[in-house]
């Protein structure tokens, strides 16, 4: 995905930096494709891959929901331990 964020690329190009077989990378791409994160355009024997980052929006929204709560949570944690200290001073 990092590679595809730079622009369209072929399977071989995407595979290049990895110390694993083309077959393995091909499988990974198929997974990303099924997940809707990658689009494929067949051009003769070459398959040109294109990133589709839209589905990551859902992930971001999910994660940022927690981020939004983060500081608030820290405060509560502090309060929680403060109470504990008070209640059981030994």
Partner DNA sequence: GTATTATTGAACCTAAAGGTTAACTAAATT
Partner DNA sequence: AATTTAGTTAACCTTTAGGTTCAATAATAC
Binding mask 21-60 for DNA (x = CB under 7 A): xxxx-xxxxxx--------x--xxxxxx------------
**The pairing of beta strand 9-10 with beta strand 38-43:** unpaired
Residues 16-45 that bind a copy of itself (CB under 8 A): 39, 41, 43
Q: Which is nearer to DNA, 31 or 74 (CB)?
A: 31
Q: What sign does the dihedral 33-16-23-25 (CA atoms) show?
A: negative
Tokens 């940022």 correspond to 64
Q: In Å, what is the CA distance from 3 to each residue of 15, 56, 63, 74, 84?
A: 9, 16, 23, 37, 50
Site residues (vs a copy of itself, CB under 8 A): 1, 5, 7-8, 39, 41, 43, 48, 50-54, 56-57, 59-60, 63-67, 69-70, 73, 76-77, 80-81, 84
């Amino acid at each position: 995905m990092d590679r595809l964020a730079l622009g369209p690329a072929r399977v071989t190009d995407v595979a290049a930096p990895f110390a694993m077989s083309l077959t393995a990378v091909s499988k990974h791409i198929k997974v990303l494709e099924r997940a809707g994160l990658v689009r494929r355009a067949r051009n003769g024997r070459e398959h040109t891959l294109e990133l589709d980052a839209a589905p990551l929006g859902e992930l971001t929204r999910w994660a940022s929901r927690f981020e939004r709560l983060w500081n608030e949570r820290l405060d509560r944690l502090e309060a929680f331990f403060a109470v504990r200290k008070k209640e059981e001073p030994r």
